[in-house]
Amino acid sequence: MGESGTDRSGGRRAAALAALALLLTTPDTQARSAREIGEGELARRQARYSRVSDARRHQGARLDVLFAKAGVTYPAPVALRAFKQEGVLELWALSMERGRYVEVARWPFTGYSGDLGPKRRRWDRQIPEGFYRVAGFNGASRYHLSLELDYPNASDRILSNARHPGSNIFIHGDEWTSGCIPIGNRAIEQAYLAVLDAADAGHEVPVQVFPCRFGTPACDRLLRAYAKGKPKLAAFWENLRAGATAFELNGLPPAVSVAPDGRYLFDPRALAVTVPR
């Protein structure tokens, strides 16, 4: 799905948290309301789009409530987690008080294309699976607002079709999709603001996309059925499971790198400040 006008932004646990604490107490990242425009150039640039300004008016107060209920100061480093089979996108944010990410909100998919399994070529209509980051913001999207993922990432470029791996993967509003994640206009306004303000404060935003919730009986049965006779697919999903488990055990997105064979490598002791591109 192609779009134009996209605005691109481009240790150890204790050390990572200390660095984040320092960032969060700098003048540019003091606690504020989601109804207010951030001080950075990215936020000011995005404020020129009427849909982004409208989102602050319509959803800023609601976003304040969601963060307050989760016990998280706004703005904060955030992460997104998507589960394809369950059709859910989750917003997680770093609680400095608890020293871990906590769930702030979840929104249902409003559309779906493809099937379980990774995206491996252009026009296959697959929603990618793996570890990504938000790479751009489109305040004038054909789908209301959209957050661009950095697909294909380093792993995809190794494992996908070499000539035509596909591109233009977004989390967006509306209901129609072909390989993207739509969550409707109200939800994308909330997600867009939280991610925008985190990025404006200097934080990269990791995005984890999984076939289903690993460890649940339904997910395990489904993956066994899909991967029967497909050892590469089974190994791929076990690799994703390791990264999902690292996040759930430590409460922090693990630092991610990519092996020469395309496998993701995880360091659960380090915070995901960067995601391989």
- Cα-only R_g, the chain: 18
pLDDT at position 30 is 74
In contact, 91 and 63? CB cutoff 8 Å: no
- Residue of 272, 205, 197 whose CA lies nearest to 28: 197
* The predicted structure's pLDDT at residue 11: 41
Q: Identify the pLDDT of residue 7.
A: 75
Phi, psi dihedral angles at 82 (to 5 degrees): -120, 140
The CA distance from 15 to 59, in Å, is: 34
Query: Which of 277, 275, 9, 42 has its CA nearest to residue 135?
Result: 9
pLDDT at 9 (0 to 100):
56
The answer to whether residues 102 and 124 touch, using CB atoms and an 8 Å cutoff, is no
pLDDT computed for residue 228 by the predictor: 96
The residue to which tokens 């630092």 are assigned: 255
Distance in angstroms (rounded) separating the CA atoms of residues 81 and 156: 18
State how far the alpha carbon of 225 is from the alpha carbons of 87, 115, 116, 127, 228, in Å: 19, 13, 11, 19, 5
Q: Which domains does the chain have, with CATH numbers?
A: 7-271 (2.40.440.10)
What is the structure's pLDDT at 276? 45
CB crowding 88-101: b at 16 or more within 10 Å, else e: ebbbbbbbbeeeeb
pLDDT of residue 89: 98
pLDDT tens for each residue of the chain, 277 residues long: 556 567 765 444 454 555 555 444 443 457 899 999 999 999 999 999 999 999 999 999 999 999 999 999 999 999 999 999 999 999 999 999 999 999 999 999 999 999 999 999 999 999 999 999 999 999 999 999 999 999 999 999 999 998 999 899 999 999 988 899 999 999 999 999 999 999 999 999 999 999 999 999 999 999 999 999 999 999 999 999 999 999 999 999 999 999 999 999 998 665 554 444 4
